[in-house]
Structure 1
Amino acid sequence: MSDLREVAITSDSSGQLWNACVWDPFVGTTLMTYKGGVSNSHCLSFIGRDFLISGDAVKPLLHVWALNRQEQIQVRMVCPGKVGALAISPDGSYCVCGIEEKLHVWQVATGRLMAVIPRHFQRVTCIRFTDDTTHFASASEDGSVIIWPLCKVVSMTQDIFRSISDSAEPRYTFSDHSLAVTNIFIGKGGMRARLVTASLDGTSKIYDLASGIMLLSVVFDVGLTCVTMTIAESRVFLGTIEGKIHPLCLHTPPRSLDYHLTETEKQNVFSEHTKSITCLSVSVDSSMLLSGSLDEQVIIWDVPSMQCLRKLQHKGSITNAFFAIVPMNVFSNNLKPSLVLSSFKRRSDTENEESYCINVLNSERILCDKKSENKESLKYLAGQVLQLKSQVKSLVGANLELYRGLIADVWDGHDDDEPDPSFESTQEVGVHKKRKIKHKKKRNLET
């Protein structure tokens, strides 16, 4: 199966059948299940293309699976507290967890706790990375959304073995919501993308990450629980506590900074769920919408017609549901991970460390630049050319010896043959007759 196939990943609060499940959204069949524990909301993510990680809903644990195995790997992940939000950087290098009001940043390869950031005043609800891994955003029940530069959070500017949790400063701090921010979504384009929020105060705000300016604030009559956006960033989908999903077109002018829905827009909703919406996700081609709810159902919608395509029944309320491009390792018998995964440390021991080592798996020569690689390749090619020239020279010499031997054999054969006297006499008679005829013609012409 190729990596171009899109699947749906879900988890529920019961954990009776499995912790997480991989579904075929076009058929509704189960492709893979992962067992053990129960995933908390906003706490399920891939680590690169090799592992799946989730934060437990009850215990201060992280569950990790190899993508091709149902059982958890033998790496114990104990956290300082119950994980309320989790995000993995797109390159699989860093893990950011929200534990109560603090952010914990781990390095995946070493398990080293890089920073603990106590910037929020209430529980962290959601964490999202930009697609270029340079920044991540954290939302909290205190109504704030903070944008963090990853390099400043994990770097150690004064002392290489000094924790920087006190000196890490955010890029932006958005405090425009009056109640808890329940979900955030970041589009494509790194720090030139848009960030969309959903809050229990009934508003959704859109920010430009490049400038930090709020572009739009959409006002609803009910509290919002989750948000997602199409890949072209032309439509936004917002889930409410009433179980309805509101589509919002961003191409409809004109608008002021604060926008209130019209009566027509209030009636134009996806309505099949009976309880609060917990998860929303849009497929890559923006043709399907995936929604999860407290009513124990995951529904796949057709976006253009707003019709329900199929329902995926679960045993508990939905905690995580999202579309993903399936990695080939899910269906591989022999998994060869490209990432090193170490057990996460519960506290930072940077003051007592003299050195630390980062384990990597890389088949390429990462310490050799392109210029030196080109020089080595040229040297190799030059050696190959010299070797071919010597082979050609030896072949030419062998051919010359063969030619000389054949010529010698031919001449030796001619010397051994004796001349035929009858043949020689016949030749002489013929030549004499020709001379007499020629002489006679010449005399006739003179007379």
Structure 2
Amino acid sequence: MEVILASSSVDGGIGCWDLHSGSENLRYKSCSSPSHGLVSVGARFIASSQLHERSKSSGSVFFWSWSKPQVEVMSFPAEPIKPLSANHSGNFIAGGALSGDIYFWEVETGRLLKKWRAHFRAVTCLVFSEDDSLLISGSEDGSVRVWSLFMIFDDLRSQQANNLYEYSFSEHTLRVTDVAVGYGGCNAIIVSASEDRTCKVWSLSRGTLLRNIVFPSIIDTIALDPAEHVFYTGSRDGKIFIAALNTESIATNKYGMHIIGSFSNHSKAVTCLAFGTSENVLISGSEDGMVRVWNARTHNIVRMFRHAKGPVNNILVVRREIDFNSHISSYVQPSSRKRANLPPPLEKIANSTDEDSDVKTKTIISLGGGKRSMDVSYLSSHVISSYIKELQHHGSAAASEMEMEKLKHECQRSMEMVNQWKKMYENLHQFCVKELLDGDQARTLDGNDK
């Protein structure tokens, strides 16, 4: 079953609808989430950060099970957390703080495994790479940083390195509003949006800027097409723009280079976008309180949902397995059901115990998202490096196309320079020949005169 989750910055709860039938499911109460603050943890339960407007020094993270509307677990981190992100298996949760720090928790135990200084200002967005080996963060300071979790949890390498991050992209001039990551693991593309009205496409394998696209309005959200031919952006003027990721540079429309069109039915800013996992549909949320489901090919509206209260600022599409045990859950004691389905509260402070080294080792082994297992006895920096190199072989089609485009442009420029040098050589050759001929003629005339 595929469901849409939507939340708001005001206490309007979390709306939940069946994507295929359009019917509304259970509405989850007591949620006022910041942008990028709603996450499904391994499709097992829902988590959301909460910000208290009256107090900028405190915040919380709430957990809901799928079967109950009330908050079941409350956590109170050491400082306010805005963006939340869970790896694909749901083993870990990362949170970005207003201070610029990133917190990294183990879900099963609630342990705070790591906290590090990530940005100079508040973290605005967090996302795991497809293979869960990288964490990408955006900030109010305008930077986008890529963190290798193998590096973060390797104390020796962390101490020897000049910086904990793999890359730091600082070309944005204003606050980063969203970050999206494509397929291909360490060789994927990253698309970032900013209040400077640009979206930038980066290569993870080379750490370079591939494309800069200027939009007519501020972009708050990004959704990559699953085939990575285009990406969609939600703007503050209520439009959804389509930008090309292929090799064609289109500049013949009214928007500018690489923007190939737009569509909209929202009356206010588009704040969040998501793609369906089984159908070619795009879901958008807006400050007008509406959730719209679009046919991504025709751009026609398939369905519309109204959030109970306030502007929509988070959209999730979750593929849930039907839980046959829910039919007999009424016979299970509440305490045992809670222990089985939901984790304990998240720790405020990392506990330094003798078990830390063992926990870090287990964490590094688990970073592959369950797609590949490693034995503890074979764990070493060489194994990790080999693993990363292996992941880099599985490249992204969009990244490859854009790299090819850059190479074509460089080749074309080189050919133009070669042709210029040829012309200069021919001109110089003609000049020299003419000078020699003129000199010989002058000497001949002088000899005849004598």
Q: How many residue pairs are counted as aligned between the two chains? A: 347
Going from structure 1 to structure 2, the CA distance change for 1:30 and 1:42 (only over 3 Å counts) comes to same
Q: What's 1:24 paired with?
A: 18
1:263 paired to 2:258: no
Q: What's 1:145 paired with?
A: 144
Q: CA deviation at 1:37?
A: 3.1
Q: CA deviation at 1:168?
A: 6.4
Q: What's 1:118 paired with?
A: 117
Going from structure 1 to structure 2, the CA distance change for 1:91 and 1:297 (only over 3 Å counts) comes to same
The residue correspondences of 1:187-206 to structure 2 (distance < 5 A) are 187-206=182-201
Contact 1:146 1:172 in 2 (8 A): yes
Deviations 1:152-183 (A, max 9, x none): 2234449xxxx989986111111111111100
Q: What's 1:83 paired with?
A: 81
1:42 paired to 2:20: no
Q: CA deviation at 1:80?
A: 1.4
Letter in 1 for 2:81: V
Q: CA deviation at 1:267?
A: 8.7
Going from structure 1 to structure 2, the CA distance change for 1:128 and 1:330 (only over 3 Å counts) comes to farther
Going from structure 1 to structure 2, the CA distance change for 1:167 and 1:240 (only over 3 Å counts) comes to same
Q: CA deviation at 1:318?
A: 0.6
1:294 paired to 2:287: yes
CA distance in 2 between counterparts of 1:149 and 1:175 reads 18
Q: What's 1:71 paired with?
A: 70
Contact 2:4 2:16 in 1 (8 A): yes
Letter in 2 for 1:83: I
CA distance in 1 between counterparts of 2:260 and 2:287 reads 22
Instruction: Provide the alpha-carbon RMSD of the alignment.
Output: 3.1
Runs of 5+ unmatched residues, structure 1: 361-365, 370-447
Deviations 1:78-108 (A, max 9, x none): 1112211111111222211111121111122
Q: What's 2:344 paired with?
A: 342
Match for residue 54 of structure 1 among 41, 44, 48: 48
Report the secondary structure of 1:268's partner residue: strand
Q: What's 1:277 paired with?
A: 270
Match for residue 251 of structure 1 among 212, 230, 246: 246
Q: What's 1:108 paired with?
A: 107
Q: What's 1:354 paired with?
A: 354
Letter in 2 for 1:12: S
Match for residue 206 of structure 2 among 198, 206, 211: 211
Contact 2:65 2:342 in 1 (8 A): no
Going from structure 1 to structure 2, the CA distance change for 1:354 and 1:182 (only over 3 Å counts) comes to same
Deviations 1:276-319 (A, max 9, x none): 11101122356211111111111111222212222211211112
Report the secondary structure of 2:49's partner residue: strand
1:240 paired to 2:235: yes
CA distance in 1 between counterparts of 2:320 and 2:229 reads 25
CA distance in 1 between counterparts of 2:304 and 2:212 reads 32
Moved more, 61-70 or 193-202: 61-70
CA distance in 1 between counterparts of 2:31 and 2:166 reads 36
Contact 2:2 2:20 in 1 (8 A): no
Going from structure 1 to structure 2, the CA distance change for 1:166 and 1:216 (only over 3 Å counts) comes to closer
Going from structure 1 to structure 2, the CA distance change for 1:306 and 1:331 (only over 3 Å counts) comes to farther
Query: What is the TM-score with the length of structure 2 in the denominator?
Result: 0.70
Going from structure 1 to structure 2, the CA distance change for 1:191 and 1:337 (only over 3 Å counts) comes to farther
Report the secondary structure of 1:30's partner residue: coil
Contact 1:297 1:313 in 2 (8 A): yes
Q: What's 1:7 paired with?
A: 3
Contact 2:191 2:201 in 1 (8 A): yes
Report the secondary structure of 2:38's partner residue: strand
Letter in 1 for 2:301: C
Contact 1:67 1:329 in 2 (8 A): no
CA distance in 2 between counterparts of 1:33 and 1:345 reads 28
Going from structure 1 to structure 2, the CA distance change for 1:39 and 1:329 (only over 3 Å counts) comes to farther
Moved more, 288-297 or 305-314: 305-314
Moved more, 190-199 or 148-157: 148-157
Contact 1:68 1:330 in 2 (8 A): no
Q: Which has the larger radius of gyration?
A: 1
CA distance in 1 between counterparts of 2:213 and 2:172 reads 12
CA distance in 2 between counterparts of 1:107 and 1:24 reads 30
CA distance in 1 between counterparts of 2:188 and 2:182 reads 5
Runs of 5+ unmatched residues, structure 2: 53-57, 330-336, 364-372, 377-450
Report the secondary structure of 2:36's partner residue: strand
Q: What's 2:225 paired with?
A: 230
Deviations 1:390-415 (A, max 9, x none): xxxxxxxxxxxxxxxxxxxxxxxxxx
CA distance in 2 between counterparts of 1:299 and 1:310 reads 6
Deviations 1:2-46 (A, max 9, x none): xxx322111123334xx2222122332212322223222101112
Q: What's 1:128 paired with?
A: 127
CA distance in 2 between counterparts of 1:43 and 1:176 reads 25
Letter in 1 for 2:194: S
CA distance in 1 between counterparts of 2:349 and 2:160 reads 12
Q: CA deviation at 1:331?
A: 8.1
Query: What is the TM-score with the length of structure 1 in the denominator?
Result: 0.70
Match for residue 325 of structure 1 among 319, 322, 327: 319
Contact 1:50 1:329 in 2 (8 A): no
Going from structure 1 to structure 2, the CA distance change for 1:327 and 1:40 (only over 3 Å counts) comes to farther
Deviations 1:92-139 (A, max 9, x none): 222111111211111222322222222311111100001211011000
Q: CA deviation at 1:336?
A: 9.6
